[in-house]
Structure 1
């Protein structure tokens, strides 16, 4: 968790405490507020100390319980301010995966130069429906989120229209293990590899593969996107981060360019994809 994010969460906690202590009918103790809300005392403490992130509903209930419902919009704005950078999966997936896919569709549609590095799976804009279905199903199982997999797959497939509408260029780097990772069935992966082979040569996509045996100047790390060299989107197990400060963007751009130095393109990339494809059905 970033220092700036934690500081913002602690600042929100201080504001929540202030509302509790300045309730119009007299200050409330933490125990009294917990009783009104039907929450455990520990939750009050964690929110005020910035050890837990409130939901918008938490903030609404807090403001009402403290007799200051008018403070809700201010609290919500504070939360939106730091969650625009770090978006927890718990909150993002509360209504399923489709809204997350649509947010990425919008971000990519508004970009003209898109750079990606992926070390775990094929990037969404190049996925087949069956591959996307497998990945999204496993994600829903992991996060125990609402099952809207088919709607999410349709939203992710809609993103692929951007490959054919012109006006943007995708510079995508995949680590070779992505070509062999069975995050789906072998038959689905085979079709996915065929899809990648067909992408090579498209004027809207520059697809590079970083061979497993090549020398790397930096560790592969986690995947990320860079939009217009101005915004970075990356994810960890608990959250997705949208970064737009100049220092962070510059760091990710240097990382991408360094990884690119180890990539192969064209026929060499095609050979790696073909080798992975053959390994699924050895003779």
Structure 2
């Protein structure tokens, strides 16, 4: 797998777009000061855009191309800009309209996807979460942000989306680090209920649930949790942002690491034993 983090990949995409804009300016044989004058803004703005310190807006791109006489490139550059924008989206923006809206925004993607691959090193995957577990996680975000008070509606929206595991022509491959079974998110009753739900999920058709034991000798360490939707998109949740990876080569990296991590997992009776031991440990 590439050593670059999802956030650095997003920054590289921003850098590539900035380089394209700078190349257009150079091809037009004008310097930054002249371009700024033609666009009607301060030269410092041109420098910040070319250095990828700020993102060029769609209006900026149109003005830039007009100043360089390449209006025919506007559509392509705006499409590239939108791709960069969707690649790295700050959580504060995603949650701005409330937790319920955030959950509902994923509904179409989940319905369209046929093959889901989930790797988690921190929490139980969303589509496997019980209502008490979901509520414990979301309560933290509701307390930490200034989003609308819609916790219960958000929990309901997430559980409704999770129904995809019981309907339609979908396949699911879940890969969990054993630590996920031990992290106390919610009270003892919530955790016991969540782990009991995992025991039931193992027997579902079209579902594969693997757990990587603590004691496994491994050559790959736990990485950031990620979700692969078909072979078309990877979503990675960072502390401050959601990263969408759509570049084929990077998706290939995630598919490779997922396959390698699967080799360390246990399934069936051995997975059930790990879950049962975690339930017993709750006391």
**TM > 0.5 fold call:** yes
Aligned-pair distance for 1:9?
A: 6.4
- 8 Å Cα contact 1:173/1:209 also seen in 2: yes
| Structure 2 equivalent of residue 7 of structure 1 | 15
Quick one: higher RCO (CA 8 Å, sep 6+), 1 or 2? 2
Partner of 2:248: 246
Q: What is the CA distance between 1:20 and its match in structure 2?
A: 5.8
Which of 167, 171, 174 is the matching residue for 2:173?
A: 171
CA distance in 2, matches of 1:259, 1:266: 17
Give TM-score, length-normalised by structure 2. Answer: 0.78
Is the Cα–Cα contact under 8 Å of residues 8 and 82 in structure 1 kept in the other structure?
no
Q: Aligned partners of 2:248 and 2:42: how far apart in 1?
A: 43
What pairs with 1:76-225 in structure 2 (closer than 5 Å)?
Answer: 79-225=81-227
Shift of 1:48: 7.1
Q: Does 1:261 align with 2:269?
A: no
1:227 to partner: Cα distance: 1.4
Instruction: Tell me whether 230-239 or 262-271 shows the greater mean CA deviation.
Output: 230-239
Query: How much does 1:254 deviate?
Result: 0.9
How far apart, CA to CA, are the structure 2 residues paired with 1:160 and 1:110? 13
| Aligned residue number for residue 233 of structure 2 | 231
Match of 1:21 in 2: 37
Q: Distance in 2 between matches of 1:230 and 1:138?
A: 31
Q: Secondary structure at the match of 2:95?
A: helix
- Residues 211 and 271 of structure 2 are in contact (CA less than 8 Å); yes or no, is this contact kept in structure 1? yes
- Judged with a 3 Å threshold, the aligned counterparts in structure 2 of structure 1 residues 28 and 255 are, in CA distance, closer, same or farther, namely closer
> Aligned to 2:244, what secondary structure does the other structure show?
strand
What number of residue pairs does the alignment pair up? Answer: 259
State how far apart, in whole Å, the 2-side matches of 1:198 and 1:165 are.
16
Out of 183-192 and 266-275, give the one that drifted further: 183-192
Q: Distance in 1 between matches of 2:206 and 2:250?
A: 26
Deviation at 1:230, TM superposition (A): 2.5
CA RMSD of aligned residues (A): 3.3
Is the Cα contact below 8 Å between 1:199 and 1:205 reproduced in 2? yes
Structure 1 segments unaligned to the other structure (5+ residues)? 32-42
Deviates more, 1:237-246 or 1:4-13: 4-13
C-alpha separation in 1, matches of 2:51 and 2:216: 47
Contact 1:217/1:258 (<8 A) preserved: no
What SS does structure 2 have at the residue aligned with 1:94?
Answer: coil
Unaligned residue ranges in structure 2 (runs of 5+): 1-7, 25-31
Question: Does the 8 Å contact 1:13/1:50 carry over to 2?
Answer: no
Matched-pair contact (CA < 8 Å) for 1:166–1:204:
no
Distance 1:234 1:242 in 2: 7
Gap change, CA 1:247 and 1:30, over 3 Å in 2: closer
- CA spacing shift, 1:94–1:21, aligned 2, 3 Å: farther
Q: CA deviation at 1:100?
A: 2.8
Change (3 A) 1:151 1:53: farther
2:27 matched to which residue of 1? none
